[in-house]
Structure 1
């Protein structure tokens, strides 16, 4: 299933760092790390709260970068196969390098392109995750000094709007979207009109387990408006149940 977007691994000369989850090493450079190396562990904490410990068939990581979140969840057996997409060439090269180096190309598909336009119409997911840019403007001093704007700025929320308008056709009827956001950049009402206008619905939200002190991270749960299951949130535990 691997869709090659980069030269053969042996031709890559860039020196990568790596972080390992179980038997999967995720390769990256510091300029590609927009927090995903740490947020991935937070995602794992979140999904460990699903009471049925379900395994999703195919997961998509939007704005994947080196795909810390996607690969860590694949390594944790949360999903059976993984799809990745990002517009930034070096990030996609790193993501493909990880698939090749770990010999998991049969379970991973990597696409390069602008948002969902990178995906063929045939791609369908029952789980979508993402750590997109969290801010609509550039005047965040601590981010401006440490990150390139492509990592933290979503001008006029264009990336989010395009994502919400296009993801439904790739989401299985009972699929789940889980995005991580930042309280300094947004709250649930920021995205609610965008979501509801695209045949989607908000099914809940939760604070981050590890990054819950201001400025805190939070998780937004989204489903199709015709879904036949609903997300039940009971304290720190979750369950997808039939309606």
Structure 2
């Protein structure tokens, strides 16, 4: 009678674990969607004659989050509507009632934060390619990122861009957070690192201002002009 090797079960378990590790991860539709937008943006940058030093990764968070670019991790983080806490979802309900009447708030969130504003964060990523970005304060960097969102949207669906930008008008109706006697730019730059976390209404008021200013500048430079202005270190 042949004796069974004593490590047979271990070998079976090892084989099973290899099969599990090799199994493909489930496809996340949101990650796929954001990745496609990123790829289109990167392709558009290359068509402008600029070769990026790196391409940002995409990470979909399971914790409450909206959207952000992290220059240390070189990653664009996006969030899901379902993970937003009730107060934030209520904020979007009021926003949708003003700027997207007749539509559920999650559609406003999806159109702006999981689509249009990806171009904003990719604008920050592009600035990360160049030392020119060091010359911009936070105030101007946010306006420039919005200019990228608008210019990129014009490449994709120019007839819709104006309507999309119009859906930020609610933010300009929020209370002005700048204390009397303070300078709007200086106050934002001073509190930039903590403002989104400690006073999101104030941060949103500023973003409404920044989007309006970026829209006024839409005819002063197309996508490639913005790309070259942001990456030319000569």
Q: Given the two structures, how large is their TM-score scaled by the length of structure 1? A: 0.32
Structure with greater Cα Rg: 2
**Which has more helix, going by share of residues?**
2
